Structure 1
Amino acid sequence: MIVAYGPEENPQGVWVASGRFMNTDGHRFALQNKNVYEIYHGDNLFNPNSNFNDLDDDARKKPIGRLINQRSNVVKYIYHDSNDNEHFICELNKFITIGKENGIHTTGNYPTYLPSYRRAVNVAEGLANNVITPQDLTPQQLQDYTLIQNTISYDNFQNEGVDARISYVFTNGVITKGYGNDFPDRFYENTNSIELVYAQHGEDLILETINNFSLFEGINYIHDDVKVRFGFYKTRRRYSNPDFLAAVIGSLADCNFEEVVSEHAIDYRGIISEGFSYEDGTCFPSTSHANGKAFDTNYLISETLEDLLTNAMRFYGIDYQGRGVTGWKPSIDHSQYLARHEGHLHSGGRNFNQNFIENILE
């Protein structure tokens, strides 16, 4: 590693700045005892990352650089626009939790312990609704019931339009139930530990009310010709994979939406999102947002704008979009039909391509 030093003011612009260093190739990066993502616009000629070797365009640079700091839980996102101006989009906190597989219906018999988990939930629901009493439990029901290690209630968020009602936590995974019969129960099996960031910069801030539900601010960066704005609507799935969020930030910065672009928005000029995943990596009612590697967005007001967004996301590695079939939705660039997606666009999931990210220091 090489330290760059000298005056911050020089004829070529601010080349040397506090917390800026160079790697052995002489390329600048931030070193601030934090985790740092350096996100580059496609027309930025100063992107120091290596070229792709698995795309048709071998001259194309990887658009995201990542500096990992295992001693810090702070993640800083920096966007470099087409003129290489730096934009410090936000700083967020990350944490480690047990990851989840994509969700499945609870009606099956695999994994082998799922039937006993399902019976345990039935007992818990019966007790909660006074259908049965503790004295009524058979030895088998009592054995199943004791498999429940914890519960997570979402009742406090029902007035926000949140679909999840309660999660039952077991040794090997989580079963989540919703309100009514709109969505079947989901089981999310535990996997390896993962990192998530809370993708909301600051406390709950209501931006506007849409159809009696509040739109909460997620990230709001506005400076010159770069705007990164999205809000959370009818969701508490506010936790993202850190790499995935870097791709989202780059996509929105490239689009630079200035006017009202989202369906149903009144005055809000950003993207309206129905979320990533929950704090535990689950994602009810979705089955494919596990571990915060996907997010939903309200459709934009025109196909032209939707195509702009989907192509921007693909540039940063979010190369799967699931959509509905009404109106112009089937014509959205690179999209595929996905059931129950007439009201929003799904982006990401297992198709998030992390080959678009390069470690700044090995």
Structure 2
Amino acid sequence: MATRITITDSGQTQVLNGPLAPDTPDNSLQRITDVYFAKKVVTDDGTRVSFTKIDSAHVQQDQQNQAIPYDSILGKTVYLVIETSNMTDLSIDAVIRPSANTLTNNTDTLQLMRFVSPDRYEAQRLFTVKVGNFDALKNNQGSHTHYGNLQSDHINKAIIKLQLRPDGRAIFDEWTERLAEGVINLEVAVERTDNNPCAYKDGQEEINGAGIFLNDDTGRFRVVNKNIYTIHHGSNTYNTLTVVNPDPERRRRIQKVVNNHSTDIIYFYYDQNDNEHRICSRPKVSVTRKRRVNAVPPLAQRGDLSQTIDFTANRAAGEQIDAHQLLVYTNGTLGDGATDKWYANQPGNVDLVDMDILANDGVGPQIFEAFNYNQNGVIIRYGFQHTRRRSIQPDSFAGFLGSLAQFRQEGHTHYIVSQGFSYSDASCYPSAEHVNGEAGDLNLLTTQENGVNTILSAANFDYENQVILRNILYDFGFESGRSENFSNTSNASTDDDITTRLPHTTHTATPRHNNHLHVHGFTPISDIYA
């Protein structure tokens, strides 16, 4: 006899016995043919939607086309798709449960967050959904009519949109602590809401009770612990984050799921059509906060010397690095240059990530490419020049990635090059404002679009595109900046013929800011439980 499981009103399951399924399916039966977790794929300029399975039989790849050894992450938004035949307009109950007790200390069904309206997720343990209902595909205006293939391609599907998390931070932390660096497989049990029989998979008989999916080696749904950033294109109508400006409407672009039991961060970008792009993974490192102070303490007050970072070879090769060396002590960091600067340790720590993903070797004045993501219509490319200050706060990095992705998707092909954020220890010689990965400098854009720097008054300064980039950076959270008042009658633009300044910046001529855009004051990103 085959084992069957039925779902009770509480969302729990009971084991029953049922007949063995014959080999050849009967196409006239009411049948649940497949159940799987998926991500949405949108094509034809946002008018056609489909679903791609995410499980162990459909392995995903990272930005370097390397296989990812898991399928999803606690806290991430996914779709649960139930494929049927001869069941349109019938309701189906579904529950999700862990395959082992390493997540919740048992294998009971999970209470997870379900999308129920454009601005609300609701904690549910028993998910009831009607076949052919497309509420899970509504955007933040409550509409899915932009998808022209729902009736033709998805009328036999029941679709649930959910987040793989409980409704409270305390329970989420318990789950992540138990899971630690492990992997948990999630299984799905489904049955008709009216308790009438139906067939499952390729079974030839309609039976009472539930069918179990994702519970064998033909496909498992593997979930792990990571920190998550979800970044939205400004025109993405599936962004349901807080509206910060009603007219014209402007929303927060980024949300994060903080995982207190992982140091890995995964950055996801959702383009203007809401396609998901896994941009990159970065480890975060917690370091002591720094602040530049006026007086350099005597040697006896600096503590033990733990590290010396020497830039002699870089400077000899033509890199315009101000620091000759960094001397990292127990109580702070001494920037040794034309004028020594002391970066004193401050209370508390700050998380930093290394932006130099490619980590190309070598020294010299050339641009060092740090990242080049180019997949499915999204390009994020940036480099560094004349700097080894390549660390940034994780929130700010999310804003930086989103800004570059949208800038490129809007048709601008400039190579974005940075003059630096902070060093990996959170110091930033000789600057005061770049401490703790809080600020960054970007080369000005040129009409050559090759990343090579220029100045505000040069003939090749691309004023219009610089304004566009600055506004996008602002929309993604870099609310403050520094530049200089200037006029330029030698470049192609006429908008800067009279004295002007880049938007969302303060005039700062000491030190000079005529050869870069300085951005800072990033708006902190809210955790999903905030």
- Alignment correspondent of 2:343: 188
Matching residue within 509, 516, 521 for 1:344: 516
- Alignment correspondent of 2:418: 273
Residues 228, 258 of structure 2: 8 Å contact kept: yes
Mapped to 2, the partners of 1:250 and 1:9 lie a distance apart of 20
- Alignment correspondent of 1:42: 234
CA separation of 1:145 and 1:51: change in aligned 2, threshold 3 A: closer
SS in 1 for 2:436: helix
- Alignment correspondent of 1:359: 527
Do residues 165 (structure 1) and 324 (structure 2) align?
A: yes
- Alignment correspondent of 1:129: none
Indicate the structure with greater helix content: 1
- Alignment correspondent of 1:134: none
Do residues 331 (structure 1) and 501 (structure 2) align?
A: yes
- Alignment correspondent of 2:432: 287
CA-to-aligned-CA distance 1:74-126 (integer Å, 9 cap, x gap): 2111110110011111111211111112x2443xxxxxxx4xx1x43xxxxxx
Mapped to 2, the partners of 1:273 and 1:70 lie a distance apart of 31
- Alignment correspondent of 1:297: 442
CA separation of 1:226 and 1:333: change in aligned 2, threshold 3 A: same
RMSD between superposed Cα atoms in Å: 2.9
Mapped to 1, the partners of 2:526 and 2:247 lie a distance apart of 17
* 1:1-362 matches, cutoff 5 A: 6=36, 8=38, 12-14=49-51, 17=54, 18-19=71-72, 21=77, 24-26=113-115, 28=162, 32-52=224-244, 55=245, 60-101=250-291, 103-106=292-295, 114=296, 117=297, 119-120=298-299, 144=300, 147=303, 149-155=305-311, 156-158=313-315, 159=317, 160-178=319-337, 181=338, 184-191=339-346, 192-204=348-360, 213-256=365-408, 261=414, 270-301=415-446, 302-328=462-488, 330-338=500-508, 339=510, 340-348=512-520, 351-354=521-524, 357-361=525-529
CA separation of 1:60 and 1:260: change in aligned 2, threshold 3 A: closer
Give, in angstroms, the shift of residue 317 of structure 1: 1.2
Give, in angstroms, the shift of residue 227 of structure 1: 1.6
Residues 76, 90 of structure 1: 8 Å contact kept: yes
TM-score by length of 1: 0.74
Code of the residue aligned with 1:284 in structure 2: it is Y
| Runs (5+) with no aligned partner, structure 1 | 107-113, 121-143, 262-269
Residues 287, 351 of structure 2: 8 Å contact kept: yes
CA-to-aligned-CA distance 1:175-204 (integer Å, 9 cap, x gap): 2122xx3xx322222121111111122331
Mapped to 1, the partners of 2:275 and 2:163 lie a distance apart of 13
Residues 186, 287 of structure 1: 8 Å contact kept: no
CA separation of 1:146 and 1:276: change in aligned 2, threshold 3 A: closer
Code of the residue aligned with 1:200 in structure 2: it is D
Code of the residue aligned with 2:468 in structure 1: it is L
Bigger radius of gyration, 1 or 2? 2
Residues 113, 163 of structure 2: 8 Å contact kept: no
Mapped to 2, the partners of 1:205 and 1:251 lie a distance apart of 27
Code of the residue aligned with 1:343 in structure 2: it is N
Residues 307, 329 of structure 2: 8 Å contact kept: no
% identical aligned pairs: 29
Residues 371, 380 of structure 2: 8 Å contact kept: yes
Give, in angstroms, the shift of residue 71 of structure 1: 2.1
CA-to-aligned-CA distance 1:18-54 (integer Å, 9 cap, x gap): 41546624265576421111001111111133344xx
| Runs (5+) with no aligned partner, structure 2 | 1-10, 12-34, 41-47, 55-70, 79-111, 116-160, 165-222, 447-461, 489-495
Give, in angstroms, the shift of residue 154 of structure 1: 2.3
- Alignment correspondent of 1:137: none
Give, in angstroms, the shift of residue 70 of structure 1: 2.2
Q: Which is worse superposed, 36-45 or 25-34?
A: 25-34
